[in-house]
């Protein structure tokens, strides 16, 4: 801690002062932002060099004549807008770009979608922006070292591909948190906002590991669980819980090499064989957790005739328990 860090801001002196400077608001969907809030949010992104318009660069042609060239500042913006037109032709969200492709039109369309479309369209646009960052990073060729294992090489390739995306998602989540937007962007998917401690100590580390190729099946189930949860319907919550169960099952199948397994028995087998930690926490706490999984799945999930649909609180509990289990059992490496 530096000397400056010991100095207290006025906002740190009392709750009343913090409220006067920045009033506390509950978590809310993107659609509840005002136009002015959306415009200011864009300025914050621009200040951090994301979603920027364009910049000028001096170039010299073959004749030696120097001229200014306008270039796109963000490959992600171009990728996102072009993809919106290709994926949603009928809706034509980026009509300027479709009529005349220029960097000015690309960025005007991006801004228009961000400010004026429904949150589902905006989240799709931002998702494609992130995908564009990943796609651009993947163009960089990484050579495998002679003494490097295949697993280590795959992990290094994955980390390289996500480097710019991770930087962007960190900025986006910081801004979204300040505006109290109720979702976060991760390598896996959009996820509901959680307490910061849970996000930092459980969600983010687990989802980072799941982005590695070996855990593709587990990651797919977690993505589906978050997607179903985001529907905010009783049916969606029940589906989310079913995918949580399947994620744990997929992890244990990958570790044990056995298919069609019940997770409680498979967890005991994996612990006995040293495939997951064989400690008191695994034997007792996680054992009780897996029993809860079975009960919740039977009562609310879609694998069998459900007794009743799940609610948001139960589905969030299942998500949190699932990620705690994965965090404890996933190997730190590949």
Instruction: Judge if 48 and 177 occupy the same domain.
Output: yes
Partners of 226 in the β-ladder: none
Residues ≥6 apart with Cβ < 8 Å to 118: 31
Q: Which two tokens stand for residue 299?
A: 């009562």
Tokens (6 digits) for 252: 């244990």
Euclidean distance between CA atoms 207 and 330, whole angstroms: 11
Q: What is the mean pLDDT of residues 272-301?
A: 73
Query: Considering the domain boundaries, does residue 14 fall inside one?
Result: no
Q: What is the pLDDT of residue 70?
A: 45
The string of DSSP codes covering 189-223 is -EEE---HHHIIIIIHHHHHHHTSGGGHHHHHHHH
Select from 146, 167, 185 the last residue of a domain.
185
The reported pLDDT for the residue numbered 222 is 92
pTM above 0.75, yes or no: no
Q: Identify the CATH number of the domain in which residue 295 sits.
A: 1.20.120
Which range of 83-87, 99-103, 188-192, 298-302 scores highest in mean pLDDT? It is 83-87
Least confident of 55-69, 112-126, 237-251: 55-69
Evaluate whether residue 51 is within a structural domain. Answer: yes
Closest CA to 327 of 165, 227, 200: 200
pLDDT of residue 191: 85
pLDDT at 126 over 50: yes
Which tens digit of pLDDT belongs to each residue from 14-59?
767 666 776 567 789 999 999 999 999 999 998 888 987 555 555 5
**Residue 174 falls inside a structural domain:** yes
Mean pLDDT computed over every residue of the chain: 83
Q: Is residue 204 part of a domain?
A: yes
Domain count, the chain: 2
Q: Please give the pLDDT value at position 33.
A: 95
Question: Do 108 and 60 belong together in one domain?
Answer: yes
Residue 22 forms part of a structural domain:
no
Of the residues 166, 185, 204, which one is the last residue of a structural domain?
185
Mean pLDDT of 1-16: 73
- Among the residue ranges 5-14, 38-47, 61-70, the one predicted with the least confidence is 61-70
Give 255-260's long-range contacts (Cβ < 8 A, gap of 24+): 255/329
| SS3 label, residue 5 | helix
Residue 13 lies in a domain: no
The whole-number pLDDT of residue 121 equals: 96
Contacts of 44 (CB under 8 A, 6+ apart): 175
> What pLDDT is attached to residue 18?
67
CA separation for the pair 174, 220 (Å, rounded): 26
Cα angle 19, 23, 26 (rounded to 5 degrees) comes to 125
> Do 134 and 201 belong together in one domain?
no
Residue pair 320/312 in contact (Cβ under 8 Å)? The answer is no
**Two tokens at 246?**
């399947």
- Residue 269: pLDDT over 90: no
37 and 109 part of one domain? yes
- Sequence-ordered list of residues with C-beta below 8 angstroms from that of 294, at least 6 positions apart, any chain: 262, 263, 264
* DSSP single-letter state for residue 67: E
The domain in which residue 74 lies consists of: 29-185
Query: Looking at the structure, do residues 98 and 196 belong to the same domain, yes or no?
Result: no
Nearest partner of 327 among 217, 258, 248, judged by Cα: 248
CA 197 vs CA 87, 200, 235: distances in Å: 37, 5, 29
Of 168, 185, 202, the position where a domain reaches its end is 185
- Position 116 scores a pLDDT of 97
Provide, rounded to the nearest whole percent, the portion of the chain with pLDDT above 70.
82
Are 322 and 193 part of one and the same domain?
yes
Nearest of 328, 256, 248 to residue 293 by alpha carbon: 248
Same domain for 171 and 109, yes or no, is yes
Within the chain, residue ranges assigned H as helices are: 15-21, 35-47, 75-87, 95-99, 103-116, 119-138, 150-178, 196-198, 204-210, 216-230, 234-256, 263-272, 280, 286-300, 312-329
Query: Is 275 a residue whose pLDDT tops 60?
Result: yes
Question: Can you give the pLDDT at residue 92?
Answer: 94
How many whole angstroms separate alpha carbon 129 and alpha carbon 110? 10
């Amino acid at each position: 801690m530096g000397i400056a860090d010991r100095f207290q801001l006025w906002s740190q002196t009392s709750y009343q002062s913090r409220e006067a400077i920045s009033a506390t608001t509950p978590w809310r969907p993107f659609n509840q932002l005002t136009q002015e809030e959306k415009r200011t949010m864009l300025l914050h992104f621009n200040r951090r060099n994301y979603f920027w318009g364009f910049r000028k660069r001096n170039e010299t042609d073959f004749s030696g004549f120097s001229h200014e060239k306008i270039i796109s500042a963000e490959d992600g913006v171009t990728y996102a807008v072009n993809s919106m037109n290709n994926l949603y032709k009928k809706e034509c969200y980026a009509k300027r770009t479709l009529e005349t492709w220029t960097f000015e039109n690309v960025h005007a369309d991006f801004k228009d979608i961000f400010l004026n479309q429904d949150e589902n369209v905006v989240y799709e646009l931002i998702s494609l922006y992130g995908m564009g960052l990943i796609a651009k990073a993947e163009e960089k060729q990484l050579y495998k070292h002679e003494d490097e294992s295949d697993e280590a090489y795959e992990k290094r390739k994955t980390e390289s591909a996500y480097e710019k995306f991770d930087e962007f998602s960190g900025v986006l989540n910081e801004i979204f948190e300040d505006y109290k937007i109720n979702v976060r962007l991760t390598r896996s998917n959009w996820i509901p906002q959680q307490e910061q401690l849970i996000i930092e100590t459980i969600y983010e580390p687990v989802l980072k590991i799941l982005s590695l190729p070996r855990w593709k099946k587990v990651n797919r189930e977690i993505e589906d669980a978050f997607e179903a949860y985001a529907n905010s319907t009783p049916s969606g919550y029940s589906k989310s819980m079913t995918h949580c169960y399947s994620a744990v099952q997929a992890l244990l199948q990958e570790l044990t090499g056995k298919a069609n397994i019940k997770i409680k028995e498979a967890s005991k087998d994996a612990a006995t064989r040293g495939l997951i930690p064989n400690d008191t926490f695994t034997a007792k706490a996680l054992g009780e957790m897996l029993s809860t999984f079975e009960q919740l799945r039977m009562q609310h999930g879609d694998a069998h005739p459900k007794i009743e649909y799940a609610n948001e609180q139960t589905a969030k509990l299942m998500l949190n328990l699932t990620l705690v289990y994965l965090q404890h059992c996933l190997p730190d490496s590949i």
